[in-house]
A and B are shown apart, each in its own frame.
Chain A
């Protein structure tokens, strides 16, 4: 009797169909469509006479020369950097404390739960909550600062450029440092514990262990955090949109708030908004590529070194066998 062999390969294709179809319809098509719209005259509601412009890059030129766009690009980077530096620093400090092998921080679980908590609360809610908390002339923050004697008269956080941007950066920092901390702690727990034991036996201090062992081994995960935070930071919308609607004087106008305003706040400039989206996309791709390049190069260097050693070992072994 001949046994029939059945190939199951077709199920690989069949089971992937829902994913592929959904991606094609709801991601790839809209993406290509956005690219196309960027080259057309599509503006206004219910506009049907869509034509590709005679100078296809006219929208791009207009956007790149638009002072509000330039400002939004600057604001986005500014808000991200000012939020990210304290975010990663504090996360690293807390990671060092929570993974200290000589001193277990009591109530660690509860601290982690509370520190991570703002990350899951609706950003729209947080933006409006902070708008109210930082109210002027009466608001909880102003009242607190007055009571503490830090200020003599109420501060109008909402009309000064640096306080407005500062609060947005602070919200970004406050909602994300807990997440970064959890990620970094997981990274530390993934390091082979014998490394720490060996260092302890050799008499290394906790500080030395952190800077000489923990930190170098966390490099990949820190770079990963940097890339994801940057991609997220370039997209920031909910908080600046609802905190001060991009104001005062465009101080909290971010890229996505700018794009939203171009397309959806009465002007309906879908073509310009598309061009701006593509420029933003290009910036994200370039920045991520640069960071990944740094990451990969480091891995490649390590791998080459390992291969060299492996070859040398094999040569030595071969010689021993011959002898």
Chain B
């Protein structure tokens, strides 16, 4: 009797591990294929497209890749400027707006908060045509600013920061700073912002990744090659010029995944904690 219970437990435990390992491999397999095939020649890939081990054609693939329109350095730089700019803007101004909602009593405070909640889920792609036309008229297409500045108004982040401030900011600190003669703006920058560091770090990671991966808006706004972001560079690999150059297509894809892999595996713990935190705020 006892034995059969133990056996069925062992079986169900085994199932759990087998499924978990299978799913982990399912996450890794496409990227493993990608990295390995990036080092294999087109001929090798055509012979057998599942290569589990690296080959020695990385350099020649790189030459083919770089010889055409794909330029990872330009894509990397533009994506870096947009993601960093947008992240700094979003994190700083969301904190400031949240501080306005928490630390001060003003007449429109509640209506303003209700308004933020109402636009929380407004998807940007819904008004992309008007946005594009607007940018076209002020000659801001092929400019990185329209991809950075809108991030200053990030309703979801304001909401998150507000919840964080409500839970962690002792308003006595603000009061005593006032008695010491600290100006309001100075108090925010020197006293409140340091308290918000953990929340800012979490939100910064996600904003950065989301902006790094953004595809729709850059695709419609940026038409000059020197302005292309990483995802737009990647979309070139789908074109005819790379049709038969399998090795270099895989290499190009690898180059866009590599920075994300480095960041992800360094910060995975914080990122996953951040996803969980984002869910709990609801």
A interface vs B, CB < 8 Å?
8-16, 18-20, 22-23, 26-27, 29-37, 42, 94, 97, 103, 105, 107, 109-118, 120-126, 128-133, 135, 138-140, 142-144, 147, 174, 178-179, 182-183, 185-187, 189-190, 220-221, 224, 228, 231, 234-235, 237-238, 241-242, 256, 259-260, 263-264, 270, 273-274, 277-278, 280-281, 284, 288
A11 near B104: Cβ-Cβ < 8 Å: yes
Closest partner residue, chain A, to B125 (CB atom): A235
| Subset of 24 A-B contacts with CB under 8 Å | A8-B104, A11-B100, A13-B108, A18-B93, A18-B153, A27-B150, A34-B127, A103-B13, A115-B27, A122-B215, A122-B234, A124-B234, A126-B30, A132-B253, A140-B37, A183-B275, A187-B279, A221-B279, A224-B279, A231-B121, A238-B215, A259-B128, A278-B126, A284-B126
B129 near A277: Cβ-Cβ < 8 Å: yes
Please report the C-alpha to C-alpha distance between residue A146 and residue B246 in the assembled complex, in whole angstroms.
20
Among B16, B17, B126, B231, contact of A124 (Cβ-Cβ < 8 Å)? B231
Q: From residue B205, how far is it (CB to closest CB) to chain A in Å?
A: 9
B164 at the interface (CB under 8 A from A): no
B93 near A113: Cβ-Cβ < 8 Å: no
Please report the C-alpha to C-alpha distance between residue A189 and residue B257 in the assembled complex, in whole angstroms.
32
B129 near A263: Cβ-Cβ < 8 Å: yes
Q: From residue A322, how far is it (CB to closest CB) to chain B in Å?
A: 41
Among B20, B45, B125, B220, contact of A105 (Cβ-Cβ < 8 Å)? B20
B69 at the interface (CB under 8 A from A): no
User: Contact mask B128-162 → A, CB, 8 Å, 1/0?
Assistant: 11111110000000000010011011010010000
User: Contact mask B242-282 → A, CB, 8 Å, 1/0?
Assistant: 00001001100100110010001100110110011111101
Please report the C-alpha to C-alpha distance between residue A294 and residue B250 in the assembled complex, in whole angstroms.
46
A125 near B123: Cβ-Cβ < 8 Å: no
B78 at the interface (CB under 8 A from A): no
Q: From residue A251, how far is it (CB to closest CB) to chain B in Å?
A: 17
Interface size on B, residues (CB 8 A): 93
Please report the C-alpha to C-alpha distance between residue A106 and residue B184 in the assembled complex, in whole angstroms.
50
> Which 6 A-B pairs have CB atoms at the shortest separation, nearest pair first?
A33-B130, A34-B130, A12-B106, A12-B104, A15-B100, A186-B276
Q: From residue B237, how far is it (CB to closest CB) to chain A in Å?
A: 6
A residues in contact with B125, CB < 8 Å: 235, 237, 256, 259, 277
B residues in contact with A235, CB < 8 Å: 123, 125
Known: A34-B127, A42-B133, A284-B123. A26 touches B150 (CB 8 A): yes
Scoring B20, B121, B282 by chain A CB atoms within 10 A of each residue's CB, the highest score goes to B20
A186 near B250: Cβ-Cβ < 8 Å: no
Closest partner residue, chain A, to B28 (CB atom): A114
Scoring B150, B232, B269 by chain A CB atoms within 10 A of each residue's CB, the highest score goes to B150
Closest partner residue, chain B, to A278 (CB atom): B126
Q: From residue B255, how far is it (CB to closest CB) to chain A in Å?
A: 10
A residues in contact with B166, CB < 8 Å: none
Q: From residue B247, how far is it (CB to closest CB) to chain A in Å?
A: 11
B interface vs A, CB < 8 Å?
9, 13, 16-17, 20, 23-24, 26-28, 30-31, 33-34, 37, 45-46, 48-50, 93-94, 96-97, 99-101, 103-109, 112, 119, 121-134, 146, 149-150, 152-153, 155, 158, 184, 188, 209, 212-213, 215-216, 219-220, 230-232, 234-235, 237-238, 246, 249-250, 253, 256-257, 260, 264-265, 268-269, 271-272, 275-280, 282
Q: From residue B71, how far is it (CB to closest CB) to chain A in Å?
A: 16
Closest partner residue, chain B, to A96 (CB atom): B16
B130 near A288: Cβ-Cβ < 8 Å: no
A37 near B133: Cβ-Cβ < 8 Å: yes
Please report the C-alpha to C-alpha distance between residue A179 and residue B27 in the assembled complex, in whole angstroms.
13
Please report the C-alpha to C-alpha distance between residue A279 and residue B125 in the assembled complex, in whole angstroms.
13
Please report the C-alpha to C-alpha distance between residue A277 and residue B104 in the assembled complex, in whole angstroms.
38
B253 near A128: Cβ-Cβ < 8 Å: yes
Known: A12-B105, A238-B216. A140 touches B33 (CB 8 A): yes
Among B123, B155, B230, B275, contact of A122 (Cβ-Cβ < 8 Å)? B230
Please report the C-alpha to C-alpha distance between residue A36 and residue B153 in the assembled complex, in whole angstroms.
23
Q: From residue A63, how far is it (CB to closest CB) to chain B in Å?
A: 13
Among B104, B107, B134, contact of A30 (Cβ-Cβ < 8 Å)? B134
Q: From residue A126, how far is it (CB to closest CB) to chain B in Å?
A: 8
Closest partner residue, chain B, to A48 (CB atom): B137
Please report the C-alpha to C-alpha distance between residue A113 and residue B24 in the assembled complex, in whole angstroms.
9
Closest partner residue, chain A, to B36 (CB atom): A140
B249 near A128: Cβ-Cβ < 8 Å: yes
B residues in contact with A19, CB < 8 Å: 93-94, 96-97, 152-153, 158
A residues in contact with B106, CB < 8 Å: 9-10, 12-13
Please report the C-alpha to C-alpha distance between residue A182 and residue B96 in the assembled complex, in whole angstroms.
29
A22 near B153: Cβ-Cβ < 8 Å: yes
A111 near B234: Cβ-Cβ < 8 Å: no
A281 near B126: Cβ-Cβ < 8 Å: yes
B residues in contact with A16, CB < 8 Å: 97, 100-101, 112
Among A30, A221, A242, contact of B130 (Cβ-Cβ < 8 Å)? A30
Please report the C-alpha to C-alpha distance between residue A126 and residue B103 in the assembled complex, in whole angstroms.
44
B249 near A280: Cβ-Cβ < 8 Å: no
Please report the C-alpha to C-alpha distance between residue A117 and residue B27 in the assembled complex, in whole angstroms.
7
Q: From residue A89, how far is it (CB to closest CB) to chain B in Å?
A: 13
Please report the C-alpha to C-alpha distance between residue A26 and residue B138 in the assembled complex, in whole angstroms.
13
Closest partner residue, chain A, to B21 (CB atom): A111
Known: A183-B276, A187-B279, A284-B123. A111 touches B24 (CB 8 A): yes
B100 near A12: Cβ-Cβ < 8 Å: yes
A26 near B268: Cβ-Cβ < 8 Å: no
Among B24, B99, B150, B275, contact of A179 (Cβ-Cβ < 8 Å)? B275
